[in-house]
Structure 1
Amino acid sequence: MNLILRTDRLLLRPLADGDIDICLALFTDPEVMKYVRAPKTRKMVEDDLVKICQRGGGGAIGVWCVTDCVTGEKLGTSVLLPLPVDQDDHDWSILQGEGYPPGEIEVGYILKPSAWGRGIASEACARLLRFAFEETPLEEIVAVTDPDNAASQNVLTKCGLVRQHDRRAYNHDDVPAFRISKVQWLARQARS
């Protein structure tokens, strides 16, 4: 399975130890983290890097570094990860081995401000959905957002995810939830 994913403008590749720069730029920035969680300290990001580079499902489940395919600029990260329900963050320990982790798999993205409003999140999300439904056994992908993050909700609906009832996720109740099945995704592709 090829984990290097391309679009017209982007290259998504598995996050690696050398990506500490983009992780620091994203996860310590209060503006970027506004709808995610409290910003982390530099030490927290450095300590977490090994964990967040882990992959499961033969590499299909994990974090990708989103880069500009022409300039190589690191724009952010995009993920296919198990959705945390009663924890504040992902349980990275379940991303070990070839098997797929239990529970629902979510798609997500975090971009630096210079990449906002340019369709980068939509392009990265659409590419990960294509990967998930064409190259893995996943039958469904979910996503959640902060209730006030209209931009992220727009990205998800643009990519074909359907708004569901609010649900519990990331140790919070009443989180806006989205879902798309492989059947729905294939039907959408046939129409386009």
Structure 2
Amino acid sequence: MNILYQSPKIIIREFLPQEQQTFLSLFKDNEVTKYLPDTSPERYIEMFNELLENYEKKNLSRWAIFNAIDNDFIGMCVARIFVHNTNQIEIGYVLSRDYWGKGIATEVCNAIMHYSFENTDKKEVVAITDLDNIGSQNVLQKVGFKRLNNLIRNEEELAYFMIERF
């Protein structure tokens, strides 16, 4: 099992093949998925299978976030080539509601941004959020991302953020 990041609070690591239900459980809470694009349960299963393939190929992927103290599942994070500009890495995260407001999102965002710069030659990391997702926008700005002009994707306007390699 490959660990990407570890601190006294959290561990970011590869999902294990037997953790599919753990991954899928994250998307059952409507509050958690409120700001995510509409996705079918079948697509979440495909995502899980894709992340396992990505690990084998040593590609960017989605990773599990666990509580370092009691190994409780916190959520997942992602780093991938940005579909709108292949010279950029897009990052994101989804946390279970029990872990909101505890500084976890900031730590995850910072860790996955650093991972993206250390493991690719890309000069820019970006993130997009729903316009109403003020919490995630604040996290991105706290980590050092700059707000750019909004991005239009599938006729939806999204908040768009970028940080450049230091």
Of the three residues 99, 108, 113, the one matched with 1:124 is 108
How many matched pairs?
Answer: 165
Tell me what 2:73 maps to: 74
2:130 is paired with a residue of what secondary structure?
coil
Structure with higher RCO (Cα < 8 A, 6+ apart) = 1
Using the TM superposition, give the Cα deviation of residue 161 of structure 1 relative to its aligned residue in structure 2, in angstroms.
0.5
For the residue of structure 2 that corresponds to 1:84, the secondary structure is coil
Aligned to 1:175: 158
Name segments (4+ residues, structure 1) moved above 4 Å: none
Distance in 1 (alpha carbons) for counterparts of 2:95 and 2:14: 16
Match in the other structure for 1:59: 58
Percent identity over the alignment is 28
- Equivalent residue for 2:7? 7
In the alignment, what sits opposite 1:153? 137
- The alignment's TM-score, normalised by the length of structure 2, stands at 0.86
The structure richer in strand per residue is 2
Measure, in 2, the Cα distance between the counterparts of 1:30 and 1:54: 28
Shift of 1:103: 4.5
* Aligned partner of residue 180 in structure 1, secondary structure: strand
Asked if 1:138 is matched to 2:88, the reply is no
1:141-188 residue CA offsets vs partner (Å, 9 max, x unmatched): 00000000000101111111100001133x2443110000002xxxxx
Equivalent position of 2:29 in the other structure: 29
TM-score normalized by structure 1?
0.75
